[in-house]
């Protein structure tokens, strides 16, 4: 079975599972390109998902769990936001994360820090070398201007949904509103900055099969949208599918790559460890 055989829940109404096997949790990771699961012990996978392009969802991920994210189509983008599940006022903070690590992009070794000086999640594997913290979210105005109007009435579930609306719906499920919507991380996208400070967007930065992995260092609420990147210049609304596969990896060990990557990261992970004495 390959990905092309997988029915898309946004373009067709899937059949319900048979009564004798009511819990329809196919091992969707088996459809991911084999190389995209390099280094993953697939016997330990607890669940896998294929997020259709333009879709949104959220999970509560415990400390010591990991998700391997896989771009299943070229040019995929996955906007994500993180809130502490213990105290939702604590959330991913873009400038604190960037300045502590002297970086304007994320790759293996980096951590996503909260406003409280703690590591919320660590980049533990990456085939791409660059994920975007700057490019914000596609909103409805830009989406309509760029791609025209495609609403439920005519498109049904294949309607266009912006990244901003997708994340607002998801964080709303935890009592969070507009004022809580933070600058996201855009996995699989690359936004460069030139000498004059101008943005550049790398079209189809991610190819099918590219992957990035996050280990969750604290209990988090993770919300994602696979809508197109706000700076994606491609004329068509064509968001790519993204695969997710999750397992329990355990908390960061003493000899962890991300801990050793920078002294700031060691201290941020220490600060998180202090929550779980």
Partner 1 sequence: MTTATAIRLQESALKPEDAVMRQRHPAGEPILFELRQGQTLRIVDTEGNQAADVLFYNRHDPAEHYSATDTMVQQGGIYLTTGSVIRSNEGRPMLTIVADTCGRHDTLGGACAAESNTVRYALQKKYMHSCRDNYLIALQHADVGLGKRDLVPNINFFMNVPVTADGALSFEDGVSGPGKYVEMRAEMDLWVLISNCPQLNNPCNAYNPTAIELLVW
Q: List interacting residues with partner 1 (CB under 8 A).
A: 9-10, 13-17, 23-26, 51-52, 55, 57, 151-153, 156-157, 159, 165, 168-169, 172-175, 177-178
Task: Residue 161: name the closest of 224, 219, 72 by CA.
Answer: 224
Cβ 13 to partner 1 shortest distance, Å: 5
Judged by beta carbon, residue 180 or residue 204, the one nearer partner 1 is: 180
Cβ 87 to partner 1 shortest distance, Å: 18
Task: Residue 269: name the closest of 261, 260, 277, 259 by CA.
Answer: 259
Tell me how far apart the alpha carbons of residues 119 and 97 are, in angstroms, rounded to a whole number.
Answer: 9
DSSP string, 141-167: HHHHHHH----HHHHGGGS---HHHHH
Cβ 202 to partner 1 shortest distance, Å: 27
Find the length of the chain.
277
Q: Euclidean distance between the first and final Cα of the chain, in Å?
A: 45
Judged by beta carbon, residue 127 or residue 162, the one nearer partner 1 is: 162
Judged by beta carbon, residue 53 or residue 109, the one nearer partner 1 is: 53
Judged by beta carbon, residue 14 or residue 274, the one nearer partner 1 is: 14
Cβ 170 to partner 1 shortest distance, Å: 9
CA quadruple 89, 111, 198, 225: dihedral, nearest 10: -60
Judged by beta carbon, residue 48 or residue 265, the one nearer partner 1 is: 48
Judged by beta carbon, residue 57 or residue 147, the one nearer partner 1 is: 57
Tell me how far apart the alpha carbons of residues 30 and 3 are, in angstroms, rounded to a whole number.
Answer: 9
Cβ 201 to partner 1 shortest distance, Å: 26
Cβ 155 to partner 1 shortest distance, Å: 9
What are residue 186's DSSP bridge partners? 79, 132
Tell me how far apart the alpha carbons of residues 235 and 232 are, in angstroms, rounded to a whole number.
Answer: 8
Tell me how far apart the alpha carbons of residues 92 and 69 are, in angstroms, rounded to a whole number.
Answer: 19
């Amino acid at each position: 079975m390959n990905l092309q055989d997988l029915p898309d829940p946004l373009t067709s109404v899937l059949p319900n599972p048979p009564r004798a096997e009511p819990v329809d949790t196919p091992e969707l990771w088996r459809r991911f390109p084999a190389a995209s699961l390099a280094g993953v012990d697939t016997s330990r996978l607890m669940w896998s998902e294929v997020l259709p392009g333009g879709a949104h969802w959220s999970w509560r991920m415990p400390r010591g769990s990991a998700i391997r994210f896989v771009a299943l189509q070229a040019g995929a983008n996955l906007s994500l936001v993180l809130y502490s599940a213990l105290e939702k006022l604590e959330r991913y903070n873009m400038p604190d994360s960037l300045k502590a690590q002297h970086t304007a992009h994320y790759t293996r070794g980096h951590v996503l820090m909260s406003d409280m000086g703690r590591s919320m999640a660590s980049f533990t594997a990456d085939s791409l070398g660059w994920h975007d913290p700057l490019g914000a979210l596609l909103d409805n105005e830009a989406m309509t201007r760029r791609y025209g109007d495609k609403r439920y009435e005519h498109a049904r579930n294949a309607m266009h949904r912006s990244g901003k609306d997708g994340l607002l719906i998801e964080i709303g499920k935890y009592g969070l509103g507009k004022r809580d919507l933070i600058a996201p991380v855009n996995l699989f996208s690359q936004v460069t900055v030139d000498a004059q400070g101008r943005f550049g967007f790398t079209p189809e930065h991610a190819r099918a099969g590219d992957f990035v992995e996050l280990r969750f260092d604290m209990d988090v609420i993770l919300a994602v949208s696979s809508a197109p990147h706000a700076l994606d210049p491609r004329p068509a609304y064509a968001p790519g599918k993204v695969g997710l596969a999750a397992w329990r990896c355990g908390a960061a060990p003493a000899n962890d790559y991300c801990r050793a990557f920078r002294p700031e990261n060691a201290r941020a992970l220490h600060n998180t460890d202090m929550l779980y004495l």
